[in-house]
Structure formats: C-alpha cells, structure tokens
C-alpha cells in the first residue's frame, strides 16, 4: 500500500487531524504480547484511515464512521499485511463482525460497507481539560502515536517535541489521531466531548459529577456507563472488568 504519511506530527496542527484518542488499555495488544501476533485489524484500519489511503477505505459522514470503498482491495491490503494471500472481503468482514461484541466496531445499518468505530468510550488526549491527576495510572505502556503502529509496521512513529506525548507530564498510552468529527454537527453536550450526554438515562440528572468527570475534568469511574452493555466495565486504566465473555447474547 502506498501510505506515505509524514511521520511528523504535522497532522496535529493540520486542520484535518485534530484529536487524539486513547482506546482502553485492553485494546492495545502489541505484537509482542501473547495472543496478538501482529497488527490487529482495527489498528490496520485506523492506520489506513489516518493515512488518508483514500482508495480502499475512507472516513464516512459521521465521526468514527468509515466506508470501505473497495472491499476487495482492502482485503488484499490486509492480506498482504498479514501474509494471507487468500484474504478476501468475506473473511475480513467476518473479523470485523467479531468486533461487534467487543464494541470496537459497529455496523452502520443500511449503509453498504459502512462501519463505525465505537469511540464512545475513548479517552481524548488533547481535550483542553486533559491532564488527569492520576495520569500515572494510564501510562504503563510505551507511548505510541498513530496513525502508525508499532515497530513491525516498519513505519515511523510520530511523537517528539510538541507531540501528544509531550502534552502530559509523562508518556501516554498509544494514541490514535482521529479526523475532525465534523463537518457533521455532533450532539455533544457534556463537559467532555464525545461522551454521550445521555449515556445514562436512568441517572441522567443527579449531580454534576455524574457526568463521569472528577473535579479535574477527568474520568473518575468506569466508562461502562457509556456503554449499553452492563456486563463489561472498564476501570480508569482501561482494564476490562469482565463478568462475562459472551455478553450481548441476550443483551438486546
């Protein structure tokens, strides 16, 4: 693939790349960790999207939504990356569907080849109010700045002076740069962007803190509340508190 992004942090100041997010810690399965041999598919997708690899895949209308413009080509690229010459969209999409339960992805129904990253429980790095009081809880991994992934991609990583990793007092977990959520107006009302304002209907208006932020504007509790699924929650460091691996079976 011809991803020729500049490895510099230029995109941070670019009008297009404006925000970086952190996936929960569990989402980062480095190539060197057991259970994850190589790049994961969603890494790869984000990488392509971040590169503006416009041919096979591109961002869709809504924030986090992406459209696979050329399914077979995307599959080919993925196959190349994974050394699976027989990869095709049917298989790739099966892998994508496995993300549904993990809530990494969601299908945009009615829109062909359109999926959406579930960014609802991501932590924004460059939100103005950032600088969690307990950032050390979040920083037990090497900083990583995307769109590019770790070393094995052979691609340069961003980072450096002025980069995201410079924003906080210490290193940050892996970050992904995301495209500006707009032009589509987003229903973001809470004090913390991208956290659905009405995430908890049943607790909607209790006290201000119920927004999920502590006095410092940082998340102070599990982001499970952002999620529809009650069986999995996430603590601050992003660890999965699971009580059931096979959630959603009867969730809806």
Partner DNA sequence: TACGGAAAAA
Partner DNA sequence: TTTTTCCGTA
First CA to last CA across the chain, in angstroms?
39
- The total number of residues shown for the chain amounts to 252
Q: How far is the CB of 245 from DNA (least distance, A)?
A: 6
Q: Look at residue 135 and give its three-state secondary structure.
A: helix
Q: Are 28 and 123 in contact (CB under 8 A)?
A: no
Q: How far is the CB of 223 from DNA (least distance, A)?
A: 18
Query: Smaller CB distance to DNA: residue 94 or 187?
Result: 94
Q: How far is the CB of 25 from DNA (least distance, A)?
A: 12
Q: Which residues bind DNA (CB under 7 A)?
A: 29, 35-37, 40-42, 71, 78-79, 82, 84, 86-87, 90-95, 97-100, 102, 107, 109, 111-114, 245, 249
Residue tagged 């969603």 (tokens): 42
Q: Look at residue 121 and give its three-state secondary structure.
A: helix
Q: What span, in angstroms and rounded, lies between the C-alpha atoms of 186 and 203?
A: 22
Omega into 183 within 30° of 0, i.e. cis? Answer: yes
- For 80, phi and psi rounded to 5 degrees? -65, -45
Q: How many CB atoms lie within 10 A of CB 22?
A: 19
Measured CA angle at 38 (ends 11, 174), to 5 deg: 35
Q: For the chain, what is the largest distance between any 2 Cα atoms, rounded to a whole number of angstroms?
A: 55
């Amino acid at each position: 693939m011809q991803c020729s992004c500049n490895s510099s942090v230029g995109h941070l100041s670019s009008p297009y790349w404006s925000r970086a997010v952190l996936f929960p810690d569990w989402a980062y399965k480095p190539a060197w960790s057991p259970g994850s041999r190589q790049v994961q598919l969603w890494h790869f997708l984000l990488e392509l999207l971040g590169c503006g690899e416009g041919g096979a895949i591109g961002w869709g209308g809504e924030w986090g939504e992406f459209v696979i413009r050329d399914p077979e080509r995307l599959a080919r690229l993925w196959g190349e990356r994974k050394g699976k010459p027989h990869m095709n969209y049917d298989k790739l999409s099966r892998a994508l569907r496995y993300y549904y339960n993990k809530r990494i992805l969601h299908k945009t129904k009615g829109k062909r080849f359109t999926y959406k990253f579930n960014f609802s429980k991501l932590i924004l790095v460059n939100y103005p109010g950032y600088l969690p009081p307990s950032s050390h809880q979040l920083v037990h991994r090497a900083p990583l700045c995307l769109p590019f992934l770790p070393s094995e991609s052979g691609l340069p990583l961003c980072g450096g002076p002025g980069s995201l990793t410079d924003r906080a007092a210490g290193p940050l977990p892996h970050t992904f740069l995301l495209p500006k959520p707009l032009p589509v107006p987003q229903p973001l009302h809470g004090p913390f962007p991208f956290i659905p304002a009405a995430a908890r209907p049943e607790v909607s208006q209790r006290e201000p803190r119920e927004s999920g932020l502590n006095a410092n504007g940082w998340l102070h509790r599990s982001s499970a509340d952002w999620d529809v699924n009650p069986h999995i929650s996430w603590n601050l460091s992003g660890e999965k508190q699971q009580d059931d691996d096979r959630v959603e079976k009867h969730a809806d």
